[in-house]
Amino acid sequence: MAKQTWLTGITTSGTPHLGNYVGAIRPAVEASSNPDRDGFYFLADYHAMIKNQDPALLRQSRQEISAAWLALGLDTERSTFYRQSDIPEIMELTWMLTCLTAKGLMNRAHAYKALVQENIDNKAADPDRAITMGLFNYPILMSADILMFRATHVPVGRDQVQHLEMARDIAQRFNHHYGDLLVLPQAVVDERASVLAGLDGRKMSKSYGNTIPLFESAKKLRKSIMKIKTNSQEPGEPKDPEGNTVFEIFRAFATEEQTRTMRDDFAGGISWGDAKQRLFELVDAVLEEPRHRYDELMANPERIDRQVRRGAEKARELSQPYLRELRRAVGVA
């Protein structure tokens, strides 16, 4: 069997939270040391620029997210960890793909369509109001990210499956014109992938303002956890763990045995205060060591830079010769 190439992009917006950890970082860190695969993990900072045009914020978020992945143990020896913006070949490939992409295909992108619909609903004079070409072309840049490294498997959330279909579509069109040079990727959607609930019980997400940051002091972490919304059941009343936010977050960090004990204690009427304290202790124990590493990296950003630059060198050893081939194929070299 040919070696699989797994590739994941991380949009560098916002501050990493527990939901990012459980849904994306932890599974990727575990996979990053798998010797049967080549793994590419990159910071999609040019994707982040589409929504974030504040340079200080962009820089800060990129730093925090790189530090988080490194602190949580991403295996940068076995896998390749880099910043999208450090790989100019991706930008060049983006243009080649742009020339082969039907505008109509992009018109059908869910994210773009949703914004147009919003404008129509708000009776804006122009349905494309406030929509940049960056947003419109988003799926093409994402295709270049993937095709540049001949990824075979791309783990993504449900909302990104359409983008993978577009990447295949565009790659096929390129191959039809210029010969079989691009590898068609497949989306890998982990149906069990945990979607963590946030403070208010909805999906933990920056856009809902209900997140628990991954790396704050133990004291602040405790404070955040104490804010999780619960019902008014009294201590001593049996509580239903299913669908309960405290229990769900607990389960995402616990061993099976710890989960079983907690379930019994819910049935036995544990108080919300005690349940939250238990949750805090569990999460804090998992994060304590990484938190030290994170703080150290954030205090020494040159260490983060060194790591990602080395990643970029590794990545470019592949992207440079491959792009030369593609340039010859399209007739500019």
- Give the pair of three-digit tokens for residue 83: 């910043």
- Give the pair of three-digit tokens for residue 169: 């579509």
> Is position 44 an interface residue for ligand TRP (rule: CB under 6 A)?
yes
| Selected range binding ligand TRP among 1-9, 210-218, 287-295, 315-323, rule: CB under 6 A | 1-9
Site string for ligand TRP, 144-173 (x = CB under 6 A): -xx-------x-x---x-------------
> Is position 8 an interface residue for ligand TRP (rule: CB under 6 A)?
yes
Token pair 């194929």 is found at: 329
Residue 159: which region, alpha, beta or left (left: phi > 0; alpha: psi -120 to 50)? alpha
Q: Which of 142, 148, 221, 252 binds ligand TRP (CB under 6 A)?
A: 142
Sign of the CA dihedral 296, 65, 43, 283? positive
Cβ neighbours for 38, distance < 8 A, ≥ 6 positions apart: 3, 4, 5, 6, 79, 80
**245 vs 319, beta carbon nearer ligand TRP:** 319
User: Are the C-beta atoms of 43 and 66 separated by less than 8 Å?
Assistant: yes
Task: Provide, rounded to whole angstroms, the least separation between the CB of residue 84 and ligand TRP.
Answer: 7
Q: Which of residues 182-201 bind ligand TRP (CB under 6 A)?
A: none
**48 vs 67, beta carbon nearer ligand TRP:** 48
> Is position 11 an interface residue for ligand TRP (rule: CB under 6 A)?
yes
- Give the pair of three-digit tokens for residue 105: 């295909």
Residue nearest to ligand TRP (CB): 9
Task: Provide, rounded to whole angstroms, the least separation between the CB of residue 209 and ligand TRP.
Answer: 19
Distance CA 107, CA 79 (A): 35
Distance CA 80, CA 314 (A): 7
**137 vs 224, beta carbon nearer ligand TRP:** 137
Sign of the CA dihedral 317, 320, 326, 328? negative
**62 vs 251, beta carbon nearer ligand TRP:** 62
Question: How much of the chain is in helix, strand and coil states, percent to nearest 5?
Answer: 60, 10, 30
Task: Provide, rounded to whole angstroms, the least separation between the CB of residue 50 and ligand TRP.
Answer: 10
Site string for ligand TRP, 88-127 (x = CB under 6 A): ----------------------------------------
- Give the pair of three-digit tokens for residue 201: 């019980």
| Selected range binding ligand TRP among 25-33, 138-146, 209-217, 281-289, rule: CB under 6 A | 138-146
DSSP three-state, residue 252:
helix
> Can you give the binding site for ligand TRP, defined by CB under 6 A?
7-9, 11, 44, 47, 142, 145-146, 154, 156, 160
